[in-house]
A = this chain, B = another copy of it.
Amino acid sequence: MNAEIISVGTEILMGNIVNTNATYLAQECAKLGLFVYHQVVVGDNEERLTQVMEQALSRSDVILLTGGLGPTEDDLTKEVAAKVAGKLLKRDERTKERIKSYFKARGVKEITQNNWKQAEIIEDAIVLDNDNGTAPGFIVETSDNKRIVLLPGPPMEMNPMFQEKVIPYLKKLQPDVLVTRMVKICGMGESAVETKIKDLIQQQTNPTIATYAKLGEVHLRVTASAKNEDAAKKLLKPVVKELKNRFDNKIYTTEEEVSLESCVLKLLVKNELSLVTAESCTGGLLAGSIVNVPGASEAFKEGFITYSNKAKRKFLDVNKSTLKKYGAVSEKTAKEMARGAAIGSDADISIAITGVAGPDGGTEEKPIGLVYIGCYIKEKTIVKEYRFNGSREKIRQQAVIAALDLLRRSILDEYGEK
């Protein structure tokens, strides 16, 4: 089975918003084992929308449409889909009541007339109630066994509707069950990862392995297809094991939902360790990413942003002579920053970052992208040197990821898996 993704909306055509809906649906289709050969963006224009929909029906089994279901006159997707599928629209009292209670729950007293357009449903279609908005979605089954799925445009409405209502429907269409594992790797580039598993990728049939390059990370999605979940898991197991053998502790998780920062926080909490951060070029981004994990306060109490040399001396007790002799961006300074932060705040572990983020300040000896990261753990200080490429922003983001990974590996080395 193959699927086609159609995003309806002038705001995407004009570049006002990024088409993240298409990315989301493409990823979900990949997980479901639906092949996507075409994605299309078209505006709220009856003629063009009709053409795009008819073409999609001629070449794809499942058409996933987002956008154009709202209350305004511009919103045409439902009307065009009904016409293309040869169906009528009819007023639905149940949907009308749902919209009424949606507004009531939010304290809206006067519901404007145009909202009732959203209570019109396509005859014979499966109505997908919208738990996070007013416009319902639909699944229309055509006479030649194609499926048109209509979803609202706002991701906050679309994503849960797709997860809760469309995925179970599509799964029933597919004879086989697909199970995936996401193997997340840090500290290696995409081509290095691919070289290391070229043989696995080439011989892949079931499970398949797909590579996703992220900034500072590489994710491998391993997908197995089988008659039932247990059989699929059985197929996954040896492949995931083989990947673990090949990448060892460069893998920080095999779970889709686990981020690098949540993995670090988990290790800290498990070992009852407190963490302090000391940042120069990243200026707070590292602490900011750790605090993004709910429950961060269990391990993280405070952090220092020591952008100036004076602040490095005042808060982290970095020696004046170190700064003078080696400079702020040096192995020695990173070491003293890490040590000073841990001792000054009585934390078990500290992590310190200092580097040249650019666009100015680079020299031949210390080029833009040079970053030192220090980690103080069990009264030792490890310092690593990195050379990152890209813009000021990209260099700083890569430094944050490298720092999280150094933290992770240091805790594993010193405290073990438990």
| Residue A230 at the chain B interface, CB threshold 8 Å | no
Which of B45, B301, B393 is A310 in contact with, Cβ under 8 Å?
Answer: B301
Given contact pairs A20-B18, A284-B277, A39 touches B12 in the complex (Cβ within 8 A)? yes
Indicate if A350 sits at the interface (CB-CB under 8 A).
no
What per-residue 1/0 map shows which CB atoms of A267-285 lie under 8 Å from chain B? 0000000000101011111
Contact of A210 (CB < 8 Å), options: B16, B24, B43 = B16
Docked complex Cα distance between A45 and B2 (Å): 15
> Which of B30, B290, B308 sits near A14, CB closer than 8 Å?
B30
A283→B294 contact, CB < 8 A: no
Q: Is the CB of B19 within 8 A of A15?
A: no
Do B20 and A25 have beta carbons less than 8 Å apart? no
Which of chain B's residues have a CB closer than 8 A to the CB of A307? 291, 296-297, 300-303
Judged by a CB distance under 8 angstroms, whether A212 is at the interface is: yes
Which residues of A from 247 to 275 have beta carbons under 8 Å from B? none
- Considering the chains assembled together, what is the distance between the CA atoms of A36 and B43 in angstroms? 9
Tell me whether A315 is interfacial, beta carbon within 8 Å: yes
Question: How many copies of the polypeptide does the oligomer hold?
Answer: 2
Q: Is A111 an interface residue (CB 8 A)?
A: no
B40 touches A40 (CB 8 A): yes
**From B24, B292, B294, B308, contact of A301 by CB (8 A):** B308
Cβ of A26 within 8 Å of any chain B Cβ, yes or no, is yes
Chain B contacts for A279, CB-based, 8 A = 284
Partner pick for A304 among B16, B305, B358, CB 8 A cutoff? B305
- Measured CA separation A314–B304 after assembly (Å): 13
| Interface residue A191 (Cβ < 8 Å from any Cβ of B) | no
Whether A303 and B288, one on each chain, are in contact in the complex, defined by CB atoms closer than 8 angstroms, is: no
Additional pairs, 16, CB under 8 Å, beyond known A38-B42, A283-B288, A284-B291: A13-B26, A13-B38, A15-B26, A15-B27, A17-B213, A38-B48, A277-B305, A283-B287, A283-B290, A283-B303, A284-B287, A284-B305, A291-B357, A302-B306, A302-B307, A302-B311
27 contacts between A and B (CB under 8 A): A14-B26, A15-B23, A15-B25, A15-B28, A15-B30, A16-B27, A18-B18, A18-B19, A19-B22, A22-B41, A38-B40, A38-B42, A38-B48, A282-B291, A283-B290, A283-B292, A283-B296, A288-B396, A291-B357, A292-B393, A296-B307, A297-B307, A300-B307, A301-B310, A302-B314, A303-B305, A303-B307
